[in-house]
Each structure stands twice: as structure tokens, then as C-alpha cells.
Structure 1
Amino acid sequence: MPTVAGEGHTSLVKELKRDQKEKAGVVVLSVGGKGLLNAMVEGLRRAGWADVPVVAMETEGAHSLKAAMNAGRLVTLPAVTRVSSAQTKQLVEEHTVFSEASDQEAVKVVERF
């Protein structure tokens, strides 16, 4: 497999595994590109947690991953120049990933934390 962009983030899963008594039931993360998602999936695989699903949150208008997953191919959003990468497309086909896009939900999460 090619080197994962943002590979340093794979250590986050290693730290979770070390610090938690139980395996994570789900990983929720913000997706603005491909690096963090790719690294988290790789980290889950390395930790033996390949069955842990990922919820990838994007804001509406910059939801290139959700659009690519829905289309089943790489896409470019009309108002955004970012494109979901081929590696990310492959990972979401191989790993359970749920992609969501909601500005309102993003604001609620920020307010909560």
C-alpha cells in the first residue's frame, strides 16, 4: 500500500488503544481533505480495529467525500475545487465509513465543546 498522507496521525489510534480499556465502538472525525481520514483508517487497521466504523463529518458546500461516495467515483464540487483522492476512495470502499455533511451539526459540535 502507498504511504498514507498524514501518516503521523495513525499514532492517535495507537494512543487510544493504549489508554482505553475497551475497543472504540466508532471514530468520528472532521474531514476537510484526505490526510486525517486516511491516517485514521490506517491506524485502525494497524491496531487490529479494522471493524471499527468511521463517521467522516464534512460541512455542506465542501462535502467532496460524501459526493464522491454517493457517485461511486472521484468528483469535483461545482463551488469547491477540492477532489476526494483515489486513495481515500479506495479506503472508504474497503472500510466502513459513514460520511455526513451538515453546517448546523458542525456548529452544534463546536458550541458543545
Structure 2
Amino acid sequence: MRPQPAAIGFLRHDVSGAQQQWDQAQIQQLAQRLGYDLCKTLVFGPETDRPLQRVRTAVSRLAAEAVITPSLDHFGGRVPDDLVRVADVITVSPENTYARWLLPPIENR
């Protein structure tokens, strides 16, 4: 068992463009600040076949608790529902966590 929960980074090089290295550094820094062991950063482009399936496979293989991305733009502007079912999705800018687990509503008794 790891001393810290595992995370993977994800970005699209066509979205990051010239700031790809900056985006990767921001993913690393946020992972460290939040207490994650950043195991791997996946860098895909528009030519990548089934990118979300590849991310989910990496989450499963690495037993990752979170996927950290520079922004939702790297996922086409929205949180992928099937990914957030298996891992938290964390964005660097704006910093936000889309958590897997929601607390059930409190019932009035």
C-alpha cells in the first residue's frame, strides 16, 4: 500500500500548446500540495484513439484515486461522467474537485 493516494495527470498537447511544460508542472505541484503521489501524466492529442478509455485503464492499473488536469478544456469542456465514477477529477484552473462520492441528502424526520 502506498503512503499517499495515487493520482495521474492528464492533458492534451493540442489544448496546452506552447504551455505544455507549464501545465505539467502545475499538475505536479497541485498533486503534491493535495498529498497525492503523481504516478504518471498522460499526454494525448486529437489523434489519440479512445482517450477516455485510456485514462480509465490507467486509473485502474495504477489504482489511482484522482485524475488531475489543467482545466476542463482538456476533457472537451465538461467532466466525463464515466471517469468521475471511478476517480475524482481535479482541475488546476480553476481549482476544483469533482468527487466520486456524494453525501446522501439528510432526510427530515
Larger fraction in strand: 2
TM-score (norm 2): 0.34
Normalization by structure 1: what TM-score?
A: 0.34
Q: Of Structure 1 and Structure 2, which has the larger fraction of its residues in helix?
A: 1
